[in-house]
Structure 1
Amino acid sequence: MSVSQTMITKEPEAQTAFEAVNFVNRINFFFDRWEVEHLLASFTDDVIVDHPLGRSVGKPALSEFLKAYEPITHGVRRHNANHVVDTVEGGDVRVTYYILLVRIAPSSEAQTLKEKPMSIMEYDEHFPKLISYAQVTDTLTRAGDGQWKVRHKRVENVAEDKVHHF
């Protein structure tokens, strides 16, 4: 049964919902800072990622996908909104949310954000700029150590501003 067909069984307890939302937000910080080791550790070994740029099955495929995806991440910050958390069959948790990608610097100048985090980067026009909107559905499962892991990530309804993509 696919994620979209999995039956929602009930709303999770408040603590579970809080943990799930915090977890998906933390993953986006890993993307923003491009912490690939932490990012990959957030997914199960058999993770499925459905993205308009392709489907990845398993961590090795996800790692390859991320290598190709990396250039557009530099100078971008992710903002998640309107999280809805549900418990699904089998005890997994599904978090559905909207994600807005804001380009705060051109990719070529993004290193300055790391080197001088307390400086103000000023541009004559265009930045910061909303470059993408999507709906994301993350199906989370508890690993043997009790930590959350993404079992399935689905990115859909993407709208992009290609002018400021890089």
Structure 2
Amino acid sequence: MSTSALPLAQPKRRIDADTRFEAIDFVNRVNFLFDRWQPEELLAAFSNDVIVDHPLGRSAGKEELAAFLKGYEPITHGVRRHNCNHVIDAGPGDDIIVTYYILLIRIAPSSEASNLKSAAMRIMEYDEHLPKLISYAMVTDRLTRTEAGDWRVRHKRVENVAEDKPFHF
């Protein structure tokens, strides 16, 4: 089950504009679930047979993904994800492949991240020189549709990661 997309190659199958829009919107919404740390909704965005290949490990199936997310959670607090340069390609069967860059920006220390929810209309200032770009990666998501027509991530691959580890606090 490969997610290796060739973003510069011409698509093998034309992806219509509605599907392209839905796919980009879906992966952006999944990343908002990471930002707000909504693990139940996040797990629901993945297929039951999901595979996640990440520099911190591989998980297969929702049970392994749930365990992975539990360990990953601490570095998500106070971080916002910014996705760009989405490229949409045809995948196996009716699946599609979305390849994009993701920038993780620390906007608050983890210990103060909960304040972001209650102070939405206030400028937050910290001594840690924030906001700060803490990570860059290339992500490839293989999306599949459910019988109801909703998207799910079937395979997520995170690679080409560069980090500023001191800001993972």
TM-score under structure 2 normalisation?
0.93
Aligned with residue 121 of structure 2, among 107, 118, 122? 118
Establish whether residue 41 from structure 1 lines up as the match of residue 44 from structure 2: yes
| 8 A Cα contact 1:11 1:85, kept in partner | no
| 8 A Cα contact 2:143 2:153, kept in partner | yes
Q: CA deviation at 1:125?
A: 4.6
Deviation digits for residues 104-148 of structure 1 (CA, Å, limit 9, x no counterpart): 000011111012221211124520000000000000000111100
Q: Amino acid of the residue matched to residue 65 of structure 2?
A: L
Establish whether residue 105 from structure 1 lines up as the match of residue 108 from structure 2: yes
Q: Amino acid of the residue matched to residue 4 of structure 1?
A: S
Aligned with residue 159 of structure 2, among 153, 156, 161? 156
Q: Amino acid of the residue matched to residue 53 of structure 2?
A: D
Deviation digits for residues 60-115 of structure 1 (CA, Å, limit 9, x no counterpart): 00000000000000000000000000112311010000000000000011111012
TM-score under structure 1 normalisation?
0.95
Moved over 3 A (4+): none
Matched length:
165
| 8 A Cα contact 1:9 1:89, kept in partner | no
Query: What is aligned with 1:133?
Result: 136
Return closer, same or farther for 1:5/1:27 CA change in 2, 3 Å cut-off: closer
**Root mean square deviation of aligned Cα:** 1.4
Return closer, same or farther for 1:40/1:118 CA change in 2, 3 Å cut-off: same
